[in-house]
Amino acid sequence: MQASAPIVILGGTGFVGRHLVSRLSGSGHRVRVLSRNREQRPDLRLLPGVEVRSADVHDRQQLVAAFQGASAVVNLVGILNERGFRGKGFEKAHVELTRSVLLACRGAKIRRLLQMSALRAGEGESHYLRTRGEAEALVRASGLDWTIIRPSVIFGRGDGLFCRFAGLLRVLPVLPLARPGARFAPVYVGDVATAMTTMLERPKCIGQIYELYGRQVMTLAEIVRYTARHMGLRRWALRLPDALGRLQALVGDVIPGKPISSDNFKSLKLDSVGTRDGLAALGIVPTPVDAIVPALLAGGRHQARLDNWRGRGR
């Protein structure tokens, strides 16, 4: 891979993408981020060697144009929920987009591809995992120099895990939980970015699938209790039996923002715990949850104290 040629990133303005762009820039790589609205990400444009280009990633011709002269493509695009219920949104974001990326790589004569996936991709009943698996199959059959990344849940500032629960716990004294015993091995977003940078720099990573996960396994209920404790809040996680959990998910399907959906419920039937330590294979020591999350939640603790003080003053 030519060091002077840019690495194109789809999904570079998202949670993982922002960390990856920063990591690649800091390592001296040129980066081209594709975004629907480049004006919304002025912070990325300030990084050395980073170009943010407006593009519709679902337009194949725009992809071919954006891939020209690149050394590699990284596809980070993914969704956890869709607007409907039949899997069409997952099909578009995961399968159809991956197919377009592969064709655009061929059109622009790009061989190197990193594809974001998920632990347990292709397993279970959920549209999310099914379409992640279908996208992987397309990549493996593409003939390109591919690497697939399968992370467990990813944590860090602004994540959809600890930080999302923190927002709910600020307003809910009791949090009903579907599938409270579902197990995860949270992995730090900085470690994921370092791993992907390493994959791009090492030819031996071509044709490999890397499971990225941390060493601490936590159930969903434990994650909620951990979050509340480090926010300094007394909160309870109400463990719902599957029948009520399924009902909660169905109700969540029609709530704006879908705090939980029926597809999430199906995904939670499978533990997000790996069996092949991809971080160890890359020489990366996983960052513990305790090293990052308590400091992130400290702000929530101060906010909770302020809210309690305001409540007493009413």
- Cβ neighbors of 299 (< 8 A, separation 6 or more) are none
Could you tell me if 242 and 233 are in contact, meaning their C-beta atoms sit under 8 angstroms apart? no
Tokens of 194: 């370092």
pLDDT attached to residue 256:
81
CA angle 256, 261, 266 (to 5 degrees): 170
DSSP conformation letters of the chain: --TTSPEEEETTTSHHHHHHHHHHHHTT--EEEEES-GGG-HHHHTSTTEEEEE--TT-HHHHHHHHTT-SEEEE----S--SSSSSHHHIIIIIIHHHHHHHHHHHTT--EEEEE--TTTT-SS-HHHHHHHHHHHHHHTS-SEEEEEEE--EESTT-SSHHHHHHHHTT-SEEEESSTT-EE--EEHHHHHHHHHHHHH-GGGTTEEEEE--S--EEHHHHHHHHHHHHT---EEEE--HHHHHHHHHHHTTSTT-SS-HHHHHHTTS-B--SS-HHHHTT-PPPPHHHHHHHHHHHHHHHHHHHHHHHHT-
How far the first Cα of the chain sits from its last, in Å, is 63
Residue 57: what pLDDT?
94
CA atoms of 232 and 313, how far apart (whole Å): 20
pLDDT of amino acid 21: 96
Ranges of each domain in the chain:
7-154+188-213+274-281
Q: What is the pLDDT of residue 38?
A: 65
19, 72, 132, 164 from 277: Cα distances, Å: 21, 24, 20, 27
| Contact status, residue 127 vs residue 84, Cβ threshold 8 Å | no
With beta carbons less than 8 A apart as the criterion, state whether 199 and 205 touch. Answer: yes
pLDDT at 201: 96
pLDDT the model gives residue 40: 65
In CATH, what number does 7-154+188-213+274-281 get? 3.40.50.720
pTM: 0.91
**HSE (CB half, 13 Å, CA atoms) of 2?**
8
**Per-residue pLDDT for the chain (314 aa), expressed as one digit of tens each?**
445 799 999 999 999 999 999 999 999 999 999 988 766 667 887 899 999 999 999 999 999 999 999 999 999 999 998 887 788 999 999 999 999 999 999 999 999 999 999 999 999 999 999 999 999 999 999 999 999 999 999 999 989 999 999 999 999 999 999 999 999 999 999 999 999 999 999 999 999 999 999 999 999 999 999 999 999 999 999 999 999 999 999 999 888 878 899 999 999 999 999 999 999 999 999 999 999 999 999 864 544 443 443 344 43
The reported pLDDT for the residue numbered 2 is 41
β 112-116/145-151 pair status: parallel
Q: Would you tell me how many other CB atoms lie within 10 Å of the CB of residue 106?
A: 15
Q: What is the dihedral of CA 268, 269, 271, 272, to 10 degrees?
A: -40
In this predicted model, what pLDDT tens digit does every residue of 111-130 receive, in sequence order?
A: 999 999 999 999 999 999 99
pLDDT at 312: 42
Amino acid (1-letter code) at residue 17: G
Which among 160, 123, 117 has a CA at the least distance from the CA of 260?
A: 160
